[in-house]
A and B are shown apart, each in its own frame.
Chain A
C-alpha cells in the first residue's frame, strides 16, 4: 500500500505501540508524559497498547542497536496495515549522539521505510502531542510543504 494513502486512512483514535530500540529513557519518559494529565494524548483517542497487532502507530525511541534491529523489523511487520512509524528523538531519527558507535546501526530508517521523524533530545511532550494532532487532523503533508516545520515526513 502507498504510504501516503495509509496515513490518510488512520483517522481517529490511533493506538500506539512503544518500541525502545536502544534509547536512553529520555524520549520514553516524555512519551509517557504525553499520555498523562497535562498533555493527555488520550484526548485524541490515542492509548498505549500492549500488542503491535492492535496498534496503528509504532513509536520508536532511541538509536537502533545491532541487537534490537531484528526485533524492530519483526514487530513492524506484525502490525496490520495501514500503519505508521514515528521516530521520536534525534537518536531514532539518525542515531544522534551515538552515531558511529560499534553497536549502533543508526536511525530507524536503517530498518524500516517511511519513518516520520520528530527530532529533539528529547522532543517536548508538546511536540509529540502536536505531531499526533496533525496525524489526527490529517494535516501532515501540508506541514511538510511549509518547509519550516520540525515535523517532516521523508
Chain B
C-alpha cells in the first residue's frame, strides 16, 4: 500500500524512507530537528508502518515513514544518534515484535508482564484479538510474587567488592507508584541506574481500538489521573482533526480554563511532594491545603475533582454560568495570595535551596538527546512549550510567558514550576475577562463512524509535551489505531542518567524532579528483562558480564 499522507492542515512533511537507510535519514534530520517526538507503529495491510516524528523546538514537525513487512520485521536502531530513542524502540519491539538491530538492550522487554510467553504474538498486531490474548495470558497467570529480578549484594557472581546492586521498588516508601529501579552503588554513590517499568501497564491502546470514539475518550482520560484533562483534550484534538469537527470559541475557552486549573493543581501537588521528599513536611501540608481551593473549583465546573470527563468531541459537556465564572475569579485571587505567601516562604528557605541546588544536574545537550520535555527541559533553559509553538484551544488569544531557568537541577525545575503556576493564574484571569458567549455544548454526542486518514495532536500538560496519534478507517465506529506518547517516558531516560554520581539519599528527590507519572508511561509498556549495559560504562572493577536487571 502507498503511504497515507497526513492531513495538509497539519503543515507537516512526511518522507517515505527505505528501511535500510533509516540511520542516515535520521542523522540528517537530527542536525536541524533534534527532538524526537516519538516512534509510532501501525499494523495495516500486512505491513508495519513506523512513523518517526521530529521537532526543531519551533513546532515545524517532520516525519519519516518506514514500511516493514509484518513477518519478522527488522530495522536498524537509531539510539546511537538520539539517546531517548532506545525506550521508544523497546516499546515498538514489545507491542509489534519489530527487531531493532544494534539496539543497546537486545532481547529485553520493556512493557509486557513477566508471565507473557516469549514466543507469543505481540499484543498490538491486528491479527491478535483480545480474546486470544486473554486466553493465552490466563493460561500462564500465576499468583507467585515476581522472583527477585535484581541480583542482591554478596552474590558470588560479583567479584567487585565495591559495587552493590540495590533493588529500589517496586513497592518502596519513596515511590508512590510501583516501579522498579536497579541501582548500582559504589559506597553511597550511584554509578548506574536502570528503570524497569510496566507494573501499571493496562493495555489502554489495545482497549481503545476496541471501543467507539466516544467510549475511548473516557478510557484515555484515565491514562493518568493527574493530567487526565490533557489526555482527553489531546485525544479530542486528534479526533476532531480526523473527523473534521470544529468546536465553538466558548468551548475552546472553557477547555483552556479547565486545563490551566489542572496545571495549577498538578504543580502545587508537585511542589508539595518536593517538600515531602526533602523532609520539609510543613511545605507539603501548606501546598496541599492551598490546592484544595482549586479542586473545589474543578468540582464546581466539572462535577468531579480528578477525572473530570468535561470534554467531548465537538465541545464540552456543560456550560459554565457567569456566576460560576465570578466564583472562579474570586477564588483564583485568593489562591494567588495564598500561593504567593507559601512559595515565597519555601523558595527563600535556605535549607531547601541547599537540599536541591546542584542535585540531579544535567546539561541541555543531554536533555535534548534524551528527548526530555516540559518543565524538565525548560529547567535547562530551552523554551519548548507546545502552548506557544503550536497553539491550540484559546492560547492564541491569551498572553503568557514561557518560563525557563538556567541550571538544570532540582532547584531550577522547582523554580520553573512555581513561576508557571503564576502564569497559569494570569491565563485564568484573562479567560474570565475575555470568554466569548455562545453554546459550547454540541447538539449530540459523536456517535458516527470514522473517515479514512490519520491525525495527530500535541498539547502541553503539566509534565510536558503529550502526543496522540489516531488512524481512522472508513466505516469503523472505533479508531483503527491510537498511539499515546506520554511525557514521563523520555523524561525517565533523562532521570536515569541524572541519577549517576549522586547518593542514594538523593534518589527520591531526583526521581521527583521530572514529576514522574508511571501510570502514564505504562499504558502500553511492559517490563525490562535482562537489561544489558546501555550507553554507560561501568567502573573497571565490575566484571564485563555484569548486567543490571532480571537474569531471566
Are A and B associated in one complex? Answer: yes
B143 touches A70 (CB 8 A): yes
8 Å CB contacts to B: which residues of A63-100?
A: 63, 65-71, 73-75, 96-98, 100
B123 touches A23 (CB 8 A): no
Chain B residue nearest to A51 (CB atoms) is: B173
B517 touches A38 (CB 8 A): no
Q: Which of B24-32, B288-296, B325-333, B363-371 contacts A (4 or more CB under 8 A)?
A: B288-296
Contacts A75-B171, A124-B305: A68 and B178 contacting too (C-beta < 8 A)?
Answer: yes
B145 touches A71 (CB 8 A): yes
A103 touches B113 (CB 8 A): yes
Q: Which of B113, B218, B288, B517 is within 8 Å of A65, CB to CB?
A: B113
User: How would residues 4 to 26 of chain A score, 1 for a CB under 8 Å from any chain B CB and 0 otherwise?
Assistant: 00000000000000111111111
B207 touches A28 (CB 8 A): no
A23 touches B207 (CB 8 A): no
A96 vs B207: C-alpha distance when bound (angstroms): 13
Give the residues in chain B near A50, CB-CB below 8 Å. Answer: 173
B137 touches A33 (CB 8 A): no
Give the residues in chain B near A74, CB-CB below 8 Å. Answer: 145
B145 touches A20 (CB 8 A): no
A102 touches B225 (CB 8 A): no
B202 touches A67 (CB 8 A): no
B133 within 8 A of A: yes
A130 within 8 A of B: no
Would you call the interface of chain B mostly helix, strand, loop, or mixed? loop
Chain B residue nearest to A18 (CB atoms) is: B176
B391 within 8 A of A: no
B107 within 8 A of A: no
A37 CB to closest chain B CB (Å) equals 4
A24 vs B200: C-alpha distance when bound (angstroms): 8
B519 touches A63 (CB 8 A): no
B86 within 8 A of A: no
Contacts A23-B519, A24-B222, A121-B304: A102 and B133 contacting too (C-beta < 8 A)?
Answer: yes
A22 touches B199 (CB 8 A): yes
Q: How many residues of B contact A (CB 8 A)?
A: 53
B275 CB to closest chain A CB (Å) equals 12
Contacts A67-B527, A121-B304: A103 and B143 contacting too (C-beta < 8 A)?
Answer: no
User: How would residues 173 to 210 of chain B score, 1 for a CB under 8 Å from any chain A CB and 0 otherwise?
Assistant: 10011100000000000000000001111111011001
B203 touches A68 (CB 8 A): no
B134 touches A23 (CB 8 A): no
Give the residues in chain A near B134, CB-CB below 8 Å. Answer: 100, 102
Q: Which of B201, B225, B289 is within 8 Å of A27, CB to CB?
A: B225
B130 within 8 A of A: yes
B141 touches A20 (CB 8 A): no
B239 CB to closest chain A CB (Å) equals 18
B519 touches A37 (CB 8 A): no
B464 CB to closest chain A CB (Å) equals 16
A62 within 8 A of B: yes
A30 within 8 A of B: yes
A73 vs B142: C-alpha distance when bound (angstroms): 11
By a beta-carbon cutoff of 8 Å, the part of chain B in contact with chain A is 112-115, 123, 130, 133-134, 137, 141-146, 170-171, 173, 176-178, 198-204, 206-207, 210, 218-219, 222-226, 228, 269, 284-285, 288-289, 292, 295, 304-307, 517, 519, 527
Could you write out 11 A-B pairs with CB less than 8 Å apart? A20-B200, A24-B223, A25-B225, A25-B226, A27-B225, A33-B295, A38-B292, A66-B113, A70-B143, A98-B222, A121-B304
Given contacts A20-B177, A22-B199, 14 further A-B contacts (CB under 8 A): A20-B176, A23-B519, A24-B224, A24-B228, A29-B269, A30-B306, A32-B176, A37-B288, A62-B519, A65-B199, A69-B141, A101-B204, A103-B201, A103-B203
